[in-house]
Structure 1
Amino acid sequence: MGLFTKTEETASVGPAGGDKDLTKKKTRQICWDSRDKFFACLDKHNIVDAIKDSELATAKCPKEEKQYEADCIASWIDYFKQKRTMEYNKEQMLKKFEEQGAVKVEPNVSFK
C-alpha cells in the first residue's frame, strides 16, 4: 500500500468512522434545517434581503442567524441568502406581469 492510496476499507469511512455519504447528507440536512428556521424568522419580520438588511436581520433573528452560520459553510450561507432575494424578486415580477394581463406560455418542445 502506498502512502497516499486508499484501500477499500478506508475509502468510504469518514473521520468519525462512519459513512462519508451519510455524514454529508446529515450535514446538508442540518444546514437546510437551520436555514429554514432563519428564513422563517426573516419572513415573520418581513425581511427579504438578509444581506442588504443584515443589521436588521441580526437584530430580529440573532439566535436563528447564529445557528444558521454555525451549521452551514460560508459559501452556502451567501448563496442561500442571494437565492432567497432572487426568488422573491422573481415572484414579484411574475405577479406584476399577471396583473398586466400577461399569460404564461409553456414551450412546445418535442425531441425526436
Structure 2
Amino acid sequence: MVGELLEVKTLRDESGAQVLGLAGEVDLSTAPTLEKAILAALGELTARTLVVDLTKVTFLASAGMSALIAGRERAAEKGVEMVIAASPQGAAYRSLEIAGLVDVLRVRPEVTPPA
C-alpha cells in the first residue's frame, strides 16, 4: 500500500514472523492506512507474531499511536503477539517514548522478534 506520505510493505523475516514495513509519516491522514494494513496482516497471518517496523517512519503523531494500540488489541484478541520495531534514535521511538508507550507496545530496536 502506498499513500502520499506513508508506504506500507508486507514482508517476512528469517524467523517466519510477518513484518509490516512502514516508511514516511504516520499522522491523522495516514493512520487509517496503518490500521487497515495491521488488520489485513492479522487476517492473512500464518505466524504467531506480527512485527510493525517503524524504523523508517519520520513522524509519528497521536493518531498513529492510536492505530498501533488498536492493532495491538486486535492482535491480542486473535492470540497474536504484535511487536513494534523502532530505532531508539528514530522519530517514531521518540514519540512513543514521550507518550509512555515503549513498554506498553513492546518496542524493540530490531525487526526480528526475540526468540
TM-score computed with the length of structure 2 as normaliser: 0.26
Q: Comparing both structures, which one devotes a greater share of its residues to helix? A: 1
Q: Comparing both structures, which one devotes a greater share of its residues to strand? A: 2
TM-score computed with the length of structure 1 as normaliser: 0.27
